[in-house]
Structure 1
């Protein structure tokens, strides 16, 4: 199991996108938002690509847009304005749609973008705290630089294994359709890792899932100490569904671990891992 899971996690990291293409696209879009009522400033990358936890086939390039225009009462208004301002901003845009807290921008060819309007709210030490769209059409706090630093510190301390562990959890989310925040999963992974001296994907994936189940997937305190709470889901229904999916995945992992390496058990072992990670999980060779 250890070897199979270790090899699988290596396949989940996406290839680096073409930076020149991204720069050319976002610069044209940046101009369009700057002259809108949002008065967008200089964009900067945030999210899974900048954190090094992007998932192959499931992660777009994330940008945060510091805005100096009047902040609307409701985030939905800001997202609608942002979507409208991006119309005709670049010839290669194929589609734009709102998926709070972002506007998803699909191009004719990858990479695609997710862009978030943000207003400066506070500065804590060297870290800026922004208000971005949140669940329930409410504004919520975000401290992207502080969160990146926290995740990177744990990853560096533990042999560069924390970000891949988060990527495994995101692969489970993608394979099962769990309605939980990818950012929440990433921060829970880093928080879990803070209390560890060593990371083994074989051991810690199961332990991490168990901890999420025991916590009931509740909103978490910010381990970086910069924002009030980090939300897990958008509704109680989504929380219950995600906990159920976690419990099922934990059961499949337990069963797969019991079968690992046993003669004649490769097929049922793979079936259990398929139910956790999807069809891209490799068939065992033992």
Structure 2
């Protein structure tokens, strides 16, 4: 991961400079969010998420579509040879022909300066939703550091994201991470593949239901960007649940070979290796 961090860090200043020079909006600060700097990323699937806390030149908050368009047009003007696309809720800029991807999230702060930062960010399909990124990161860290769990929340999140990426499951990585922390919040220990099985079974039981902000500072958030993507994700989740259970049962029975066989299927043959 360090090599990825070094490579991606080289573009941060140019991206920030581009947005700061915009004539359409002002940027108060940049805040790195998501898995890249949080220890929950999957190698070669970890993008840089950068929240741009901004305001319009005339002081009003535009529509979320307009805010995304402003960011896209600004980056395109600065990087004419680089692909820049709106991919709600962010604007994605693909350096090195897509090998290095940054996702820029426009945010308009709604909380007082002396309170926890809460932002309006683009919703997954339309409109605005509220988000408290620092609170969300702190929540995962709190669970991750609990006795008996030590490191488990982030490990479980990485396993869930690896399953998602390797099987092309259209579920939000943020949702998987927050649900992983919520699942382990009531556990007293952590065993990676035992709890991965339980976690996937739980997601299947609740049918990827929307999740309340665990700290009560922001909007409920969805697992998928639309009804259609959720309908696509659920069958893949059911298959994953079956494979994870067969792997766990085989391990309990002392049949390590069969356990690894189903783990291989679970992770589309990419992981784990013996």
Query: Stretches of 4+ moved more than 6 A in 1?
Result: 261-265
> Alignment RMSD, CA only?
2.4
Q: Give 1:166's aligned residue.
A: 157
Are residues 227 and 207 of structure 1, via their aligned partners in 2, closer, same or farther at CA, if it must alter by over 3 Å? same
Contact map agreement 1:30 1:42 (CA 8 A) in 2 = no
Q: Give 2:204's aligned residue.
A: 213
Q: Give 1:85's aligned residue.
A: 74
Q: How far apart are residue 176 of structure 1 and its match?
A: 1.7
Q: How far apart are residue 223 of structure 1 and its match?
A: 0.7
Are residues 237 and 111 of structure 1, via their aligned partners in 2, closer, same or farther at CA, if it must alter by over 3 Å? closer
CA–CA distance in structure 2, aligned partners of residues 229 and 18 of structure 1: 31
Q: Give 1:7's aligned residue.
A: none
Q: Give 2:27's aligned residue.
A: 40
TM-score by length of 1: 0.84
| Comparing 240-249 and 98-107, the one that deviates more | 240-249
CA–CA distance in structure 1, aligned partners of residues 197 and 115 of structure 2: 36
Contact map agreement 2:166 2:270 (CA 8 A) in 1 = no
| Mapping of residues 268-283 of structure 1, within 5 Å | 269-283=259-273
Q: Give 2:225's aligned residue.
A: 234
CA–CA distance in structure 1, aligned partners of residues 125 and 68 of structure 2: 14
Q: Give 1:3's aligned residue.
A: none
1:100 matched to 2:88? The reply is yes
Q: How far apart are residue 97 of structure 1 and its match?
A: 1.4
Contact map agreement 1:124 1:226 (CA 8 A) in 2 = no
| Comparing 193-202 and 146-155, the one that deviates more | 193-202
Contact map agreement 1:252 1:275 (CA 8 A) in 2 = yes
Q: How far apart are residue 136 of structure 1 and its match?
A: 2.4
Q: Give 1:118's aligned residue.
A: 107
What are the ranges of 5 or more consecutive residues in structure 2 without an aligned counterpart? none
Contact map agreement 2:76 2:82 (CA 8 A) in 1 = no
Contact map agreement 1:46 1:62 (CA 8 A) in 2 = yes
CA–CA distance in structure 1, aligned partners of residues 250 and 165 of structure 2: 25
Contact map agreement 1:30 1:40 (CA 8 A) in 2 = no
Q: How far apart are residue 217 of structure 1 and its match?
A: 0.8
Q: How far apart are residue 53 of structure 1 and its match?
A: 0.6
What SS does the aligned partner of 2:78 have? coil
TM-score by length of 2: 0.88
Q: Give 1:247's aligned residue.
A: 238
